[in-house]
Amino acid sequence: MAERPATLGEALAAARGRLPPGEARLLLRGVVGCTAAQIAAYPERALSVEQARRFADLVDRRAAGEPVAYLLGEREFYGRRFGVSPAVLIPRPETELIVDLVLARLAPGAAPWVLDLGTGSGALAVTLALEIPAAHVTAVDCSPAALAVAGANAAALGATVRWIESDWFAALEPAAFDFIVANPPYVADTDPHLAEGDVRFEPAGALASGPAGLDDLRRIVAAAPDFVAAGGWLVLEHGYDQAAAVRALLLGAGFADVTSAPDLAGIERITLGRRP
């Protein structure tokens, strides 16, 4: 007797107890290419043998800890789908606040020069290029593999960004950017959080930054004054307990109007300052 193909409902049932139902549905949608509503409405729809095999493999890998975003190869950021791979940090919702802070400081009709440092998937650079069509956006990363992911995202989403392989500002000529944004590594090397959950699978170089997590933030702030236009902004994401330290760095480097903004969880997550 021929083997009966598994159905959507049976596939989800097989994952029950191993994965949260929401994650199993996301993986199944990725395999079958359908919506959550379709899965709910047609649980008797059959999977091909290949789809059933792929789903079982994704469930195993997720159960072993691999992030859903890497398994699906994508994550949403600011309402758009970004391709991701283990070469880049998975975009996080708190980083969307950087986009809002830039948009709120944009003069009407401005065509700002924008620099994204350590662009990773390109989430910030591509989003800013699309949200500010007149902007001139440059993005750097020290990882060629990350720049390949970012470039593919820009192409898929129709954004124009100048990509440069660079260790922070190292490969850039002095310039006058109106906005410099960065979500640099800022986790302390010894933070136990690095050994938990999704971050175990993310590039260590995009997460950890010295004993206090401040090494890269220090380097960026120290070099930034040569690259920010007078009146321009430096906008930095940092750790939950680093806002005061980053404000002090910015004030020490001569920035004015230095403030921190809370993320959705109420944690001061972004600190920004303006070059007088």
Q: How many CB atoms lie within 10 A of CB 134?
A: 10
Q: Which is nearer to ligand GLN, 55 or 82 (CB)?
A: 82
Q: Which is nearer to ligand GLN, 151 or 210 (CB)?
A: 210
What the block records as the tokens of 80 is 């758009």
Mark residue 75 as left, alpha or beta (left: phi above 0; alpha: psi -120 to 50; beta: remaining): beta
Cα distances (Å, whole numbers) of residue 232 to 105, 112, 187, 246, 276: 10, 9, 27, 17, 8
CB of 52 to ligand GLN, least distance (A): 33
CA angle 250, 254, 256 (to 5 degrees): 75
CB of 199 to ligand GLN, least distance (A): 5
CA angle 41, 45, 64 (to 5 degrees): 90
Q: Which is nearer to ligand GLN, 71 or 90 (CB)?
A: 90
| Residues contributing to the site for ligand GLN (CB under 6 A) | 92, 183-187, 199, 207
CB of 142 to ligand GLN, least distance (A): 14
Q: Which is nearer to ligand GLN, 15 or 246 (CB)?
A: 246
Q: Which is nearer to ligand GLN, 119 or 138 (CB)?
A: 119
CB of 10 to ligand GLN, least distance (A): 35
* Burial of residue 224, with CB atoms counted within 10 A of its CB: 0-12 exposed, 13-18 middle, 19 or more buried: buried
CB of 207 to ligand GLN, least distance (A): 5
